[in-house]
Structure 1
Amino acid sequence: MQVKNIISAIALTAIATFSHAQNEVDALRYSQTFFGGTARYTGMGGSFGALGADLSVGTSNPAGLGRFSQNQFSFTLNNYSVSSNTEFGGTTSNSFVNRLKVDNIGILFASNRESKARGWRHLQFAFTYNRLADFSSNRYYEGEIFNSLLDVFAAQAYGVDPSLLYEYTPFTSALAWDTYAIDEVYDASGTVAYQPRLTNGNMYHKRSIQTRGGIGEYSLAFSGNYLNKLYIGGSINFQNTRYIEEYSHTEELTEPAGVSLRSFTYTWQQTTKGTGVNAKLGVIYAPIEDLRIGVAFHTPTIMHFKDSYRTGMNATHDTVYYEIPSNFEPQGEFSYRFASPLRAVFSGGYVVMKRLAINVEAELATYNKGNFRNSGDPMMAVSWETENQAIRNLYRTTVNLRTGLEFAFSPSFLARVGFAYYPSPYDKSVNNIGGAHYFYSAGIGYRWKKIFIDAGYRLHNTKIDYYAFNASDPTNLALITENKHQIAITLGLRF
């Protein structure tokens, strides 16, 4: 072990900036935004594109801001509770996490131009923040299967001399070799190979995956109302992304006879921070007073990311315990750019006797058009051909559907319900039974003079195919059923 640590100390001084692990999973994470913001918007299932007059409508169609006739301010707090149920190796596990977030804050100024400009009734300027995605989760699974993560680490190191492991596989195989979880051998051709220090028995797996962060969007929007018939709007939007993932993977040998290894634990920590910019343009037309038809286009979001990550490992043997010291744990960072897909949103709204409002919305999302690019730093320039081809092969263009209904029991008291369906972004040829997202929502609102308060509830249900390793082997599949409960409270003021 002393010899191996000397090699570690030498090699760890020059690792990681030449490694990158971004793939199609990251592409989908930063492309698939849902809806968030005010409690009213949440209660309506994110379906507001043609109705307008809400400070979160700009995330869908900025022309909806043209429906405002007076200044408005709103602030929204949202409580996220996420429960996960996971099946793996015949064992069912449960986990839970709860977090409080700011989902919306915004201010809009509306000018009354009826006496100053021909046709233009109101012009609006707005600054808003809306949360588009939340990455909060706490997933855990355990169960017994034959395969091991050490099989992957051994395969990755094939042909690499032990003295070069920290140069070529610093975050995986090098750690396994340094803790005596894999050993070097030589095949018939004399090439160095590696084999896990395992028996032919099963491995009992335990993995805990915690994630947090989200995608928030800051918008500068301008809109106008022409003769109460035509509403136009546009916005420049700045996205801020933060994603943190920490997982711990433990395996225990069920039949350790004949080898020293009893168990090992591998850890991964990743922090991703990113900024991006996009533009949105929208139009709403009202052919008659109660009917509104809207269309909006969102340009791709050009994002710049920086990933920071570190890994660690320990192994328990029959008579000794090996652990990578914290000051030797591999650390790295990598910068890159990503262009998310463009979107088109089509919506229709209808108001019945000024008491019932209905909105239906369809969003076209081209998930297979996402594209990784180099950051511009020549030290981090790589070829993205494999990753971008995987995006085109795995994903498809989908139509996401949202619908919402609002009923006014009186001018002061309102109730809302909504539903949204985001079909699986995976291509039909991909054997993935998860991926579709279902949203069920409801809410109430109260208006008193210039003050209003809204409450909204949303249930987000989805199933996820999670492979810790070797996605080609179905025995490695952990099937996660996740329910995200969201309670939003909005306080607002008209002035």
Structure 2
Amino acid sequence: MKKQIFLFSFFACLSFFGSRAQVYYNDAFRYTYRPMPTGSARTLALGGAQGAMGSDAASLAVNPAGIGLFRRAEVAVGLDYGNSLIQSSYLDTDETANRDKIGLSHASAIFAAPQSSAGQTIQFGISYVRTHDFRQDSYYQASNPYSSLADVWTEEAAGIHAKVFESEAANNKIYDLASLAYATFVINPYADDSTQYYTEFRDVNNQLVAPILQEERIKESGSRSVFNITAGGQIQEKIYWGATVGIEVINYERENTYKERLSRTAADGELQAFTLRQRYTATGGGLYLGMGIIVRPIEPLRIGAAIQTPTGFSLYETSTASIESESVGFSKVSASIIPYEYDFRYRSPWRASGSLFWQIKKYGFITADVEWIPYRQMAVSGSDNNFDESGERRAIRENFRNSIQARVGAEARIGSWYVRTGVCYTPSPLRKEAAYYDAMAFTGGIGYRLQGFQLSISGVFARYASLYQPYVSQQYFSPTVERTQQYMQWQVSTHWYF
């Protein structure tokens, strides 16, 4: 699979249908792209616009200066329920898969010191926020009259003598999918040239003997979360400042089950069907620093700015794959590759944000954020000399663009009740095919506050389109799955004040 065929290979990031080599800029994008706002139920309901609002511990990951607006100690926790729905269209056949999910979205504790005689205060806080939720399922299926995944493996095996594959299978040391396909009789060498291969899904004229029934189910799990240790304060209620150390953790897992079956009964002794199962995991963490400031030039207005350094992640990945094949008149045959383990590093881009907050007396407020995300600054590197770092860097620069996420929210106060709404717009980070991954999230919620307690409930709806390509063939038809991804999330947050 060539890296230069970006649109297709990039959106095939969920699949390992190529050789053992991994395309790591796909992982960098997965861990960076964030179309949903994050935070507490209050900040979610405001579209994630929280940079100049302050007084919410979940917002400290956006602008740590917000800690300067706390006047009392606080403990907060939030739980959420979400549903992801992916509609897939593949060769004029539509399928839908959805996934329910529930979990801890944020937790925090803020310690506020009394104001000094000079009008200054110092606050300290610790917080946890889940910034990315990878949990989702997708499914597609259709009859393909043009090509098979087995075609790709014949191309990848070309030039390798069959004796190499024979030796790997005999010693149970299979390293890649082409060798695995050979060991399970999905591909076979020509009798007159043992370095060229064919699949029995094609006849002597190199045409498919019948359409191929294809289907794939993909299950993803995991999250990217941040633990912040933040300190800050204020001067004369005019300048608020803060700094934070962020500890980020990535935990990602994917399981693919891909099946092909000939749409008619194969000839005696020939291939009828095969199933490819794959599992991939990546775990690791890193550190970043964040700094922010909020100024109040006039009583109702706050202006905020914040910057966050890149996070340098150290990640450990594992992958496994197996194939089970069926041939008419024979027992099923199965084999597995040697589990693959590798250490690599991922550097997230810088993030810089500017924000406004306007208090409308005691009736509510409006708030807005813009956040700069320079995707072209993403970087990946490997733990050995075989890693193509320059190629990865070139692919990132050629195929991504820097982006600005915009968030706007408003809150109205009615006695002890609060009504909130907002919107979050995430433009596509792709230089080409910008219609894909161009996301819009609509938010809303309510809150109720007593003397030492606040309860908030929020809802978020987000939607965007993407492409996914099961495989890329150099000679035959390469199919594409068009996907519409929808996310709904409900969150309940409680805040206790002391």
**TM-score over 0.5 for the pair:** yes
Partner SS state of residue 246, structure 1: strand
Given that residues 261 and 316 in structure 1 are in contact (C-alpha distance below 8 angstroms), is that contact kept between their aligned partners in structure 2?
yes
Partner SS state of residue 52, structure 1: coil
Given that residues 27 and 391 in structure 1 are in contact (C-alpha distance below 8 angstroms), is that contact kept between their aligned partners in structure 2?
no
- 1:134 corresponds to: 133
Given that residues 57 and 64 in structure 1 are in contact (C-alpha distance below 8 angstroms), is that contact kept between their aligned partners in structure 2?
yes
Q: Does 1:492 align with 2:474?
A: no
- Of 187, 193, 212, the residue aligned with 1:182 is 187
Given that residues 36 and 46 in structure 1 are in contact (C-alpha distance below 8 angstroms), is that contact kept between their aligned partners in structure 2?
yes
- Of 258, 261, 268, the residue aligned with 2:278 is 268
Partner SS state of residue 57, structure 1: helix
Q: Does 1:396 align with 2:401?
A: yes
Partners of 1:162 and 1:341 lie apart in 2 by: 45
Q: 1:257, CA displacement in angstroms?
A: 5.1
Q: 1:255, CA displacement in angstroms?
A: 4.8
- 1:382 corresponds to: 387
Given that residues 229 and 244 in structure 2 are in contact (C-alpha distance below 8 angstroms), is that contact kept between their aligned partners in structure 1?
yes
* Structure-2 change in CA distance of 1:245 and 1:191 (3 Å): same
- 1:463 corresponds to: 465
Partners of 2:272 and 2:175 lie apart in 1 by: 23
- 2:422 corresponds to: 418
Gaps of 5+ in 2: 1-18, 203-207
Q: 1:381, CA displacement in angstroms?
A: 5.4
Partner SS state of residue 368, structure 1: helix
Q: Does 1:28 align with 2:29?
A: yes
Q: 1:431, CA displacement in angstroms?
A: 3.5
Query: Could you state the TM-score of these two structures normalised by the residue count of structure 1?
Result: 0.90
* Structure-2 change in CA distance of 1:234 and 1:163 (3 Å): farther
Given that residues 337 and 373 in structure 1 are in contact (C-alpha distance below 8 angstroms), is that contact kept between their aligned partners in structure 2?
yes
Q: Does 1:249 align with 2:258?
A: yes
Given that residues 156 and 169 in structure 1 are in contact (C-alpha distance below 8 angstroms), is that contact kept between their aligned partners in structure 2?
no
Partner SS state of residue 408, structure 1: strand
- 1:368 corresponds to: 376
Q: 1:153, CA displacement in angstroms?
A: 1.4
Q: 1:432, CA displacement in angstroms?
A: 5.7
* Structure-2 change in CA distance of 1:471 and 1:420 (3 Å): farther
Partners of 1:355 and 1:317 lie apart in 2 by: 73
Given that residues 325 and 334 in structure 2 are in contact (C-alpha distance below 8 angstroms), is that contact kept between their aligned partners in structure 1?
no
What are the residue-to-residue correspondences of 1:21-420 with 2, within 5 Å? Answer: 21-33=22-34, 34-115=36-117, 118-120=118-120, 122-145=121-144, 146-165=146-165, 166=168, 170-185=175-190, 192-199=195-202, 200=208, 201-255=210-264, 260-325=270-335, 328-375=336-383, 378=384, 382-410=387-415, 412-420=416-424
Given that residues 128 and 225 in structure 2 are in contact (C-alpha distance below 8 angstroms), is that contact kept between their aligned partners in structure 1?
yes
Partners of 2:224 and 2:308 lie apart in 1 by: 16
Given that residues 266 and 272 in structure 2 are in contact (C-alpha distance below 8 angstroms), is that contact kept between their aligned partners in structure 1?
no
Q: 1:142, CA displacement in angstroms?
A: 0.6
Partners of 1:220 and 1:210 lie apart in 2 by: 33
Partner SS state of residue 159, structure 2: coil
- 1:7 corresponds to: none
Question: AA paired with 2:198?
Answer: Q
Question: AA paired with 1:192?
Answer: T
Query: Could you state the TM-score of these two structures normalised by the residue count of structure 2?
Result: 0.89
Q: 1:229, CA displacement in angstroms?
A: 1.0
Q: 1:162, CA displacement in angstroms?
A: 2.8
Deviation readout 1:269-314 (Å, 9 max, x if unpaired): 0111010111111111111011111111111110010111110111
Deviation readout 1:40-78 (Å, 9 max, x if unpaired): 111111111011111111121111121111111101011
Partner SS state of residue 112, structure 1: coil
What are the residue-to-residue correspondences of 1:446-461 with 2, within 5 Å? Answer: 446-461=448-463
Deviation readout 1:239-259 (Å, 9 max, x if unpaired): 011111001011112255557
The percentage of aligned residue pairs carrying the same residue is 24
Partners of 2:307 and 2:473 lie apart in 1 by: 36
Partner SS state of residue 201, structure 2: coil
Partners of 1:47 and 1:343 lie apart in 2 by: 15
Question: AA paired with 1:155?
Answer: E
Q: 1:368, CA displacement in angstroms?
A: 1.4
Partners of 2:346 and 2:436 lie apart in 1 by: 24
Partners of 1:418 and 1:170 lie apart in 2 by: 50
- 1:10 corresponds to: none
Question: AA paired with 1:127?
Answer: I
Q: 1:474, CA displacement in angstroms?
A: 8.1
Question: AA paired with 2:343?
Answer: S
Partners of 1:29 and 1:210 lie apart in 2 by: 15
* Structure-2 change in CA distance of 1:321 and 1:396 (3 Å): farther
* Structure-2 change in CA distance of 1:195 and 1:433 (3 Å): farther
Aligned-pair Cα RMSD in Å: 2.1
Partners of 2:58 and 2:354 lie apart in 1 by: 16
Given that residues 465 and 477 in structure 1 are in contact (C-alpha distance below 8 angstroms), is that contact kept between their aligned partners in structure 2?
yes
Question: AA paired with 2:344?
Answer: Y
Given that residues 345 and 380 in structure 2 are in contact (C-alpha distance below 8 angstroms), is that contact kept between their aligned partners in structure 1?
yes
Given that residues 39 and 76 in structure 1 are in contact (C-alpha distance below 8 angstroms), is that contact kept between their aligned partners in structure 2?
yes
Partners of 2:155 and 2:54 lie apart in 1 by: 56
Deviation readout 1:115-137 (Å, 9 max, x if unpaired): 2xx242x2110100001000011
Given that residues 421 and 437 in structure 1 are in contact (C-alpha distance below 8 angstroms), is that contact kept between their aligned partners in structure 2?
yes
Partners of 1:312 and 1:92 lie apart in 2 by: 28
Q: 1:389, CA displacement in angstroms?
A: 1.4
Partner SS state of residue 396, structure 2: helix
Q: 1:480, CA displacement in angstroms?
A: 1.2
- 1:15 corresponds to: none
Deviates more, 1:33-42 or 1:484-493: 33-42
- 2:6 corresponds to: none
Q: 1:386, CA displacement in angstroms?
A: 1.7
Partners of 1:280 and 1:471 lie apart in 2 by: 45
Partners of 1:337 and 1:82 lie apart in 2 by: 29
Partners of 1:423 and 1:251 lie apart in 2 by: 36
Partners of 2:77 and 2:333 lie apart in 1 by: 48
